[in-house]
Structure 1
């Protein structure tokens, strides 16, 4: 079932998946499906692309293995549901698909799916196996990201053009599906893209018209950015050649958010080429900024044991084995604290827009 090359026709790929199972049944064989292993044991950091990539290991899910039977059935249901969506020419959310498939199996009084946490990983299994995208299976997730700044975005399917300087307090809502067929860039005057981790910080930058004063696009993924936001970042850099700067909390989770934007994620390593942007740079926040900008120590937060453990894990990741990053993470462990972007407001409510970000950008004070 595992495809090495990205398939051009997802419907055909799903049909072939089903035909393989039927052929095994006709031969009185135990139905078996092979799936890429999607965990830390089967990913590697590609030095050439600077992305986290999926390896060649596969696992087997067999119908007559009691430990696999339920998940085998669920995987077939997900594949069938995706094929129906493609046939009908409609898209739906991954949550809608979960509810569409959820029912009680007659005579057994057992649910096909208990929670969405069961169906979501199976969608990713099928994506990885067919070497396609969830969007090509006519599925999308709830959109999270927002964007504001000097660019016009056209959405052909809705026959609309969105001037992202005139979207008000909420900005342009970044769609879950951001492929060129659905989102097209028009009339971009921005010189760079600034991604901030938190919506509250994005609201401050939007209200202060940071994007207008510095001629840039300001985006947020509201925490860990969703796939639509990451795909948008990837396309803005690759198609418009815009520099990408990331601003997140000075903690292990903020650092990891940056790494996901830059290198891709372990779980979605099979689509890193579309979701990762290796040229992204980390603007801040860092624990070393505390001294540089005279940030009061009373707004820092003491590291807990989970923070310390996660920091050690980051130091072991190949993509964090760069001198500047090792220095920052070790400095955090040494001083024993972390801090949120909102801590900059202890200086002044507009300190981040009027002093911190302009100075960091001007000095090109980035981490790689």
Structure 2
């Protein structure tokens, strides 16, 4: 069993020697400071009114690549001097959004002041007629977090997790509840309060990040964690939510074991892996607590399709959207640091095909768990 993990143990030692130590993750911002910042925003609006000027709120643009820089040790970081979007109360195009901002700032101020917490869902239901949709609340809470440069946790706003975790892992929730993830058949939902998790106990040799819930469930059914364990599996069920990303980072900070990504062999699977590794454009202001730059690409690699002779019937032609996404990925600032990744993506461009992880069943029903993953992990088949 120990020989099986020789390559993973070597990788763990290598990663420990390279991992930066100057980034503090999960450091709490003083509640009084958050209150002062909110008061500063409101004071600015009041000052504008006293001057008979239309109040405006300036929020860093979270969808502009011009606002981010790339740090190899952290990922995509929002620049200190960011291009901002202006939300005006006297502009019909943004007046409603201005009202949303003021209302949510008021709710957050009361939460922080009273040291209580609410979910984004709670905020939405506090005034459904004003907010109209949950997405409105989600976006503005993240905008406020970005504007104040503090985490949602510091705003006392929690979000429901969509991710699941399983394997060799036990921990305590902030309220003292013990969570045991060892079950072979039932996964545990990722905590909505990852920052509050403590007393993590695990003998895991590695963490396997699985893109899709269907693949995650298949690995659970095949008792993968026991057969290839000790290990931990986690999935964000597609594009990961913040709590799942926080959990992956928490596991790295605590266990310092290699993290591998198992994603579809398509442009969107690659992008999801990049979100875990280097972060997303929209959440670049919180990159230091959300990224794990040591994440390795385990599969499904475009070169695997040729090497394993995956049947043509299991391959899918790239759509125009796929091609556009692939071209966009190749221009990302971090791709130049990974020539092997670049070659894989260029191979996908040349072959003009993609494949889901499930395509391996065209070789054999249990090929993923019996052959593919064991060999990849045993012989270092990651990038």
Instruction: Tell whether the structures are fold-level matches, with TM greater than 0.5.
Output: yes
Q: 2:193 matched to 1:171?
A: no
8 Å Cα contact 2:70-2:334 kept in structure 1 = no
- 2:253 maps to 238
- 1:108 maps to none
8 Å Cα contact 2:167-2:231 kept in structure 1 = yes
Per-residue deviation at 1:245?
0.3
Q: Sort the Cα spacing of 1:188 and 1:6 in 2 relative to 1 into closer, same or farther, 3 A.
A: closer
Q: 2:43 matched to 1:19?
A: yes
- 2:149 maps to 131
- 2:348 maps to 332
5+ residue gaps, structure 1:
104-111
Deviations 1:12-43 (A, max 9, x none): 33233223322332343321222212122433
Q: Sort the Cα spacing of 1:18 and 1:239 in 2 relative to 1 into closer, same or farther, 3 A.
A: same
8 Å Cα contact 1:77-1:101 kept in structure 2 = no
Per-residue deviation at 1:7?
4.4
Q: Distance in 2 between matches of 1:8 and 1:86?
A: 10
- 2:10 maps to none
8 Å Cα contact 1:6-1:131 kept in structure 2 = no
Deviations 1:130-167 (A, max 9, x none): 1111122222222111111112111131x21122113x
- 2:216 maps to 202
Per-residue deviation at 1:230?
0.5
Superposed CA RMSD in Å reads 2.0
Q: How does 1:53-202 map to 2 (within 5 A)?
A: 53-55=77-79, 56-57=81-82, 58-103=84-129, 112-157=130-175, 159-166=176-183, 169-179=185-195, 182-202=196-216
Q: Sort the Cα spacing of 1:299 and 1:48 in 2 relative to 1 into closer, same or farther, 3 A.
A: closer
8 Å Cα contact 1:301-1:337 kept in structure 2 = yes
Q: Distance in 2 between matches of 1:17 and 1:223?
A: 36
Q: Distance in 2 between matches of 1:203 and 1:6?
A: 35
Per-residue deviation at 1:48?
4.5
SS at match of 1:265: coil
Deviations 1:314-347 (A, max 9, x none): 1111212332122111111211110001111222
8 Å Cα contact 2:74-2:287 kept in structure 1 = no
TM-score in terms of structure 2 length: 0.86
SS at match of 1:242: coil
SS at match of 1:345: helix
Q: 2:233 matched to 1:218?
A: yes
SS at match of 2:194: coil
- 1:107 maps to none
Which one has more relative contact order, counting CA pairs under 8 Å at least 6 apart?
A: 2
Deviations 1:102-146 (A, max 9, x none): 33xxxxxxxx23322323221111101111111222222221111
- 2:266 maps to 251
Deviations 1:292-321 (A, max 9, x none): 223212111111111111111111112123
Q: 2:62 matched to 1:38?
A: yes
8 Å Cα contact 1:142-1:176 kept in structure 2 = yes
Deviations 1:65-100 (A, max 9, x none): 333322211111111122233344443321331221
Q: Distance in 2 between matches of 1:177 and 1:6?
A: 13
TM-score in terms of structure 1 length: 0.89
8 Å Cα contact 1:176-1:227 kept in structure 2 = no
Deviations 1:242-301 (A, max 9, x none): 111000000000000000000000011101111111111110001211122232121111
SS at match of 2:124: helix
SS at match of 2:171: strand
